[in-house]
Structure formats: structure tokens, C-alpha cells
């Protein structure tokens, strides 16, 4: 090691506070106390949620349920336009087949 490493170790040793590690029993009792606090908090939140649900059921009364609306086929066909992806590759013909058909004479 060089001089700077030794100085660094000395500075760290001097600035680092020496504190003994707590015993296992101390840590265990502290963990049990924290767990007990968490359990009480969870029980409190659960009881408040249960009370709120019960109040909603009691005071909510009857809620009018709308009948399901069904989709009519005509509405679906009027609002939907689908083309095949290959339609862009096909040439466009600009004619109306109903106008181009010959008219047949009606017999008398």
C-alpha cells in the first residue's frame, strides 16, 4: 500500500463511529413490535373497508339496472366499411354496374 491508502484507512477509522451491534434478542423484540403495529394497522383498514361495504349495501338501496341494448345488424353494416388489404393492389374501375347494364324491354 502506498501513503495515500494508509491515510485513507486512518481517516475512515477515525471518522467511523464505533458502535456495538445490538443483540439478537433486541432485534427480534423490535421486529415483533413492528409486526404487531402492522397487524393492528391492517385490521383497522380491513374493519373500515368492511364497514364501508356494509354501509353501501344498507344505504345504497336499489340501483336501477339498464336493460342491455342489442346491436342491430343494419346499424352495424351502416357504420362499418371494410376492404381487403389486397384491394390497394387492384386497379380501380370507374363505372357503376347498374348504369352500364342494358335495359331489357318489358313484354306486353
User: Is 32 a domain residue?
Assistant: yes
Cα–Cα distance measured from residue 1 to residue 8, given in angstroms and rounded to the nearest whole number:
11
Asked whether residue 40 is domain-assigned, the answer is: yes
Is there a domain that residue 38 lies in?
yes
Q: How many CA atoms lie within 13 A of 35 on its CB side?
A: 6
pLDDT at 98 over 60: yes
Give the structural domain span for 28. Answer: 21-58
How far is it, in rounded angstroms, from Cα 26 to Cα 23? 5
Span between the terminal Cα atoms of the chain, in Å: 121
- 6 in a structural domain: no
Distance CA 37, CA 41 (A): 6
The domain total for the chain is: 1
Task: State the CB neighbour count (10 A cutoff) for residue 3.
Answer: 7
Helix, coil or strand: residue 65: coil
Mean pLDDT confidence for 90-104: 67
37-41, 64-68, 104-108: the lowest-pLDDT one: 104-108
Residue 104, domain member (yes or no)? no
For residue 86, being part of any structural domain is answered with no
Q: Specify if 100 maps to a domain.
A: no
Could you tell me if residue 36 is inside a domain?
A: yes
Amino acid at each position: 500500500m502506498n501513503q495515500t491508502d494508509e491515510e485513507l484507512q486512518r481517516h475512515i477509522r477515525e471518522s467511523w463511529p464505533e458502535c456495538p451491534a445490538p443483540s439478537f434478542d433486541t432485534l427480534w423484540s423490535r421486529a415483533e413490535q413492528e409486526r404487531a403495529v402492522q397487524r393492528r394497522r391492517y385490521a383497522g383498514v380491513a374493519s373500515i373497508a368492511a364497514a364501508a361495504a356494509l354501509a353501501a349495501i344498507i344505504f345504497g338501496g336499489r340501483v336501477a339496472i339498464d336493460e342491455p341494448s342489442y346491436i342491430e345488424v343494419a346499424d352495424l353494416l351502416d357504420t362499418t366499411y371494410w376492404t381487403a388489404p389486397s384491394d390497394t393492389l387492384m386497379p380501380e374501375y370507374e363505372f357503376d354496374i347498374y348504369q352500364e347494364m342494358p335495359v331489357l324491354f318489358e313484354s306486353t
